[in-house]
């Protein structure tokens, strides 16, 4: 069944899953069907929020396929307005946390609670409206830059679009194009670099102004000047919002209120950057390793 309103975030995640996991059309339809199985509970109410919410994962168990458990008893809280970052090896289950927060899948055991409300009891539309994601790969439509920034906010004015673009530091680049905000982008238009696409995603998120944010950091390395700039912009966007950062590089997480270290579907360490360094465990090892490998580049 075709929905009239499909949030961009949903498309982004589906697109990424298709890219990551699927090789043929049959499987794609299986995935779409699976997503449709997550239905609103009878009498589901809109998620009620009065400002940035606290988010809690309580003993969450989850498997995409019954034979292969992915999350095995994950519990943590993001207090209202704070930032929690998740690090850990590839396949640990970090991005799965963000898919579950969007309720693209239902969990098998435990609860995910936003502002005291179990996400299974609220409407999916209200849930997905409350969350903004800056994904690894931003999906751009074959349309104008203005359309791509305003996507989902049909009532946004040109002034608001430009304001968001300025804050995401992409305005000057757009203004320098002969057709400005009317420049076509995407497959058949202007090709944007990874950093420029991320800035469009940041501008889109700024315009949406959601109380809850997810940053799924790009795995593909940006050059370090670009990366530092993007990180500064992300920090500014996250100010005062409840934020989950899925981090692939440790440099992004240093300022988080709490860092969770995941391995094979479990949280194996948690604390602030300095607490985790002092503990001398997994995080400290990862930090030392990354630091060592970064030294030759920064010399």
Is 93 a binding residue for ligand ATP by CB under 6 A? The answer is yes
Query: C-alpha angle with apex 277: 270 to 267, nearest 5 degrees?
Result: 20
Residue 195 in contact with residue 151, Cβ under 8 Å?
A: no
Among 10, 15, 64, 173, binds ligand ATP (CB under 6 A): 64
Is 227 a binding residue for ligand ATP by CB under 6 A? The answer is no
List binders of ligand ATP among 238-267 (CB under 6 A).
248
CA dihedral 264, 273, 97, 81 (to 10 degrees): 160
**What mask, x for binding ligand ATP by CB under 6 A, covers residues 154 to 193?**
----------------------------------------
CA terminus-to-terminus distance, the chain: 56
Q: How far is the CB of 105 from ligand ATP (least distance, A)?
A: 8
Is 12 a binding residue for ligand ATP by CB under 6 A? The answer is no
Is 137 a binding residue for ligand ATP by CB under 6 A? The answer is no
Q: How far is the CB of 98 from ligand ATP (least distance, A)?
A: 8
Of the candidates 25, 77, 7, 88, the one whose C-alpha atom is nearest the C-alpha of residue 264 is: 88
Q: Which is nearer to ligand ATP, 72 or 163 (CB)?
A: 72
Backbone angles phi, psi at 161, to 5 degrees: -60, -45
Among 8, 49, 55, 70, binds ligand ATP (CB under 6 A): 70
Q: How far is the CB of 157 from ligand ATP (least distance, A)?
A: 37
Is 17 a binding residue for ligand ATP by CB under 6 A? The answer is yes
Backbone angles phi, psi at 51, to 5 degrees: 105, -175
Query: For the chain, where are the alpha helices, taking DSSP H only?
Result: 8-21, 25-37, 94-101, 124-130, 145-150, 158-167, 171-175, 194-208, 224-238, 273-279, 282-298
**Interaction site with ligand ATP (CB under 6 A):** 17, 21, 64-65, 70, 88, 90-96, 248
């Amino acid at each position: 069944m075709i929905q009239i309103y499909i949030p961009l975030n949903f498309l982004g995640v589906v697109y990424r899953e298709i890219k990551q996991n699927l090789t043929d059309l049959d499987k794609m339809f299986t995935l779409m069907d699976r997503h449709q199985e997550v239905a609103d509970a009878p009498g589901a109410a809109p998620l009620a929020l009065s400002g940035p919410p606290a988010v809690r994962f309580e003993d969450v168990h989850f498997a995409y396929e019954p034979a292969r458990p992915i999350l095995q008893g994950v519990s943590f809280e993001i207090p209202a307005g704070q930032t929690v970052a998740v690090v850990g090896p590839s396949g640990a289950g970090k991005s799965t946390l963000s898919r579950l927060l969007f309720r693209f899948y239902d969990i098998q055991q435990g609860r995910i609670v936003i502002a005291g409300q179990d996400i299974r009891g609220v409407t999916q539309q209200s849930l997905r409206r409350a969350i903004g994601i800056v994904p690894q790969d931003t999906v751009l439509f074959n349309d104008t830059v203005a359309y791509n920034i305003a996507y989902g906010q049909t009532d946004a004015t040109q002034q608001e679009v430009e304001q968001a673009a300025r804050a995401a530091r992409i305005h000057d680049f757009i203004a320098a194009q002969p057709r400005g905000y009317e420049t076509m982008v995407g497959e058949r238009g202007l090709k944007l670099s990874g950093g420029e696409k991320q800035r469009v995603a940041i501008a889109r998120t700024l315009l949406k102004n959601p109380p809850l944010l997810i940053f799924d950091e790009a795995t593909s390395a940006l050059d370090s000047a670009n990366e530092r700039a993007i990180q500064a912009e992300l920090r500014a966007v996250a100010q005062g919002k409840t934020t989950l950062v899925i981090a692939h590089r440790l440099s992004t997480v240093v300022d988080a209120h709490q860092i969770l270290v995941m391995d094979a579907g479990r949280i194996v360490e948690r604390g602030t950057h300095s607490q985790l360094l002092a503990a001398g465990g997994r995080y400290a090892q990862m930090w030392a390793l990354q630091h060592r490998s970064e030294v030759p580049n920064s010399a």
